[in-house]
Structure formats: C-alpha cells, structure tokens
C-alpha cells in the first residue's frame, strides 16, 4: 500500500496550523491528467491523518493546501496571503509511505520528505 500524510506548522507563530483544507490528486504518469483522490483538513495538531491510500499505478501525487483562508484568519499577510495556496507534487513508488510536512509563514514556505 502506498500512502501519503502531511502536517502544517505555522513557523511564524511556532505552532501547528489547524483547519487548512488539503486536497490529494494522483496521476499514473507525468503527462497523465490529475485525478482527485481525497480531501481532508488539518486537525488541532496541524495533521491530516485520514488521506486515502494511493491507487495502484500511481506515479505522482499532488497535495494542494488552501493556505489563504488560514493566513487571513490568523491575521498574517496583512489581509492578503502572498501564497493563497501551495501545491506540492511528489513522485511515488509502490509500497512506500510519504509524509510531507509544510512549514508555512506569511511570505514563504518549505516542504520536505519527513518520516
């Protein structure tokens, strides 16, 4: 089973970012169309633990984070988020688990493969 999980940390506040919508899409190859596969929202710990396992034949997964509403709610970005959304695309191999943390602040973000 191939799976993806994520969490979001607000690095400017030094705490988890709760209630950020996250959408998961998959595709079989680099030129194949994206197919929506699941959605969730970060919990009080900033984590999405309920994204569905990836279907067989998946070559790429895409996580889309709706960061704009969170940044507006927390007052970051002075009324307009510089990054209203963040999309992260990753290559996947069968049988692996991919944990992809998003470190977010009003004017930047970074991602990495976690454990």
Q: pTM for the whole thing? A: 0.93
Place of tokens 């990495």: 112
Spatial distance between the Cα atoms of 36 and 53, rounded to a whole number of angstroms: 13
Q: Please name which of 5, 102, 91 lies closest in space to residue 51, comparing C-alpha atoms.
A: 5
pLDDT, tens only, 95-105: 999 999 999 99
23 close to 63: Cβ distance less than 8 angstroms: yes
| Average pLDDT of the segment spanning 28-45 | 95
User: Could you give the domains of the chain?
Assistant: 3-111 (2.60.40.180)
pLDDT, tens only, 51-66: 999 999 999 999 999 9
């Amino acid at each position: 089973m191939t799976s993806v999980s994520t969490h979001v940390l607000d690095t400017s506040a030094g705490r988890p970012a709760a209630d950020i919508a996250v959408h998961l899409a998959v595709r079989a190859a680099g030129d194949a169309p994206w197919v929506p596969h699941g959605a969730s929202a970060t919990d009080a710990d900033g984590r999405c633990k309920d994204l569905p396992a990836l279907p067989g034949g998946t070559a790429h997964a895409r996580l889309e984070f709706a960061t704009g509403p969170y940044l507006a709610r927390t007052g970051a970005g002075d009324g307009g988020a510089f990054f209203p959304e963040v999309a992260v695309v990753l290559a996947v191999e069968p049988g692996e688990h991919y944990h992809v943390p998003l470190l977010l602040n009003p004017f930047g973000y970074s991602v990495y493969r976690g454990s």
